[in-house]
């Protein structure tokens, strides 16, 4: 039996594609998200898969789900901290609750997941945590202030964690995608920000990243031997200029 892979935000987008690719290679998995029906659809027909409705901002819920899967499949060898939200808007008039949601999910969710699996990985001197950041974690975008803050946070905490855990042979990896075709934009409430985003996508000829290429990248990074850490990958549509 291969080792346990835990994927957050597996109910759609990148997470669902990452689940497909690891399942095809025979990995037991725990798929997490809040929408059970969507998780069930992703897991349909897969062997050795557990799903659990978990909000990554709820540490206890998150930990319980992972411990339950570990009883069945053994300790987590890969955690993909992928769950995230992007609520576009500008600071002049965006509802502060949207900032809170992004910081809680995109930063606290990643820290929660990391702590839940990290000590066992350090003890075993084996394991990988891969954080899904964004190009918005290394450069700024108009209408993205709080999202950018959250993803700069993911960049910063990932590199700090890598420095802290390299001595224990634990790999901390990060993938920073550009614009991609997922459900991410469907939660945006600002019509003008959505319009600006659509206009920007048009500059790429409307051809943004296919999530399957992000999933392939994650798999490639993980498949390197434990002594090799592909620390960070930026991946975006060729026509994305920023
Ligand atoms: P989707 O909206 O398709 O997927 C987001 C996933 O996160 C869903 O499965 C959702 O599941 C889950 N999620 C959101 N909030 C929570 C929460 N509180 N607890 C648990 N799960 C949660 O978008 P993407 O696939 O695009 O997003 C995945 C990651 O990729 C995010 O971190 C995003 O910031 C990042 N990213 C996306 C880009 C893009 O253009 N699409 C570009 C760069 C980075 P559920 O609603 O069921 O809880």
Q: Within a domain: residue 239?
A: no
Supply the pTM of this predicted model. Answer: 0.98
Mind listing the pLDDT tens digit for each residue in 141-175? Answer: 999 999 999 999 999 999 999 999 999 999 999 99
The residues near 51 (Cβ < 8 Å, ≥ 6 apart) are 10, 30, 31, 32, 36, 39, 40, 42, 43
The predicted pLDDT at position 172 comes to: 99
pLDDT band at 19 (very low <50, low <70, confident <90, very high): very high
Mind listing the pLDDT tens digit for each residue in 220-240? Answer: 999 999 999 999 999 999 999
From the CB of 33, is ligand 1 less than 6 Å away? yes
Write out the residue range of the structural domain in which residue 122 sits: 4-234
Instruction: Give the Å distance between the CA of 9 and the centre of ligand 1.
Output: 5
Q: What is the CATH number of the domain that holds 183?
A: 3.40.50.720
Ligand 1, residue 182: give the atom nearest the CA.
3
Distance in angstroms (rounded) separating the CA atoms of residues 21 and 38: 17
Q: What's the whole-number mean pLDDT along residues 20-32?
A: 98
From the CB of 83, is ligand 1 less than 6 Å away? yes
Q: Within a domain: residue 178?
A: yes
The predicted pLDDT at position 48 comes to: 98
The answer on pLDDT for 1 being more than 90 is no
Q: Within a domain: residue 20?
A: yes
Q: What's the whole-number mean pLDDT along residues 210-218?
A: 98
From the CB of 110, is ligand 1 less than 6 Å away? no
Q: Within a domain: residue 111?
A: yes
Distance in angstroms (rounded) separating the CA atoms of residues 146 and 113: 21
Q: Within a domain: residue 78?
A: yes
Out of 12-16, 117-121, 203-207, least confident range: 203-207
Q: Within a domain: residue 127?
A: yes
Q: Within a domain: residue 241?
A: no
Ligand 1, residue 151: give the atom nearest the CA.
34
The answer on pLDDT for 206 being more than 90 is no
Q: Within a domain: residue 133?
A: yes
Q: Cβ-count burial of 119 within 10 angstroms (0-12 exposed, 13-18 middle, 19+ buried)?
A: exposed
From the CB of 179, is ligand 1 less than 6 Å away? yes
Q: How many domains does the chain fold into?
A: 1
């Amino acid at each position: 039996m291969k080792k346990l892979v835990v994927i957050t935000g597996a109910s759609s987008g990148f997470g669902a594609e990452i689940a497909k690719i690891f399942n095809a290679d025979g990995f037991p998995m725990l798929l997490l998200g809040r929408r059970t029906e969507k998780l069930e659809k992703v897991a349909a027909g897969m062997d050795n898969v557990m799903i659990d409705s978990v909000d990554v901002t709820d540490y206890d819920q998150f930990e319980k789900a992972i411990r339950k899967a570990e009883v069945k499949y053994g300790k987590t060898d890969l955690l993909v901290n992928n769950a995230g939200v992007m609520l576009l808007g500008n600071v002049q008039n965006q509802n502060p609750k949207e900032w809170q949601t992004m910081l809680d999910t995109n930063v606290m969710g990643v820290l929660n997941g990391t702590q839940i699996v990290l000590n066992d990985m350090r003890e075993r001197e084996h394991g990988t945590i891969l954080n899904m950041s964004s190009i918005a974690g290394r450069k700024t975008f108009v209408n993205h202030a709080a999202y950018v803050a959250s993803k700069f946070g993911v960049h910063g905490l990932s590199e700090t964690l890598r420095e802290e855990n390299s001595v224990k042979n634990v790999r901390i990896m990060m993938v920073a995608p550009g614009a991609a075709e997922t459900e991410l934009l469907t939660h945006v409430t600002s019509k003008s920000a959505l319009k600006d985003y659509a206009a920007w996508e048009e500059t790429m000829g409307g051809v943004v990243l296919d999530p399957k290429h992000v999933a392939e990248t994650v798999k490639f990074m993980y498949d390197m031997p434990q002594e090799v850490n592909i620390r960070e990958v930026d991946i975006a549509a060729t026509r994305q200029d920023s």
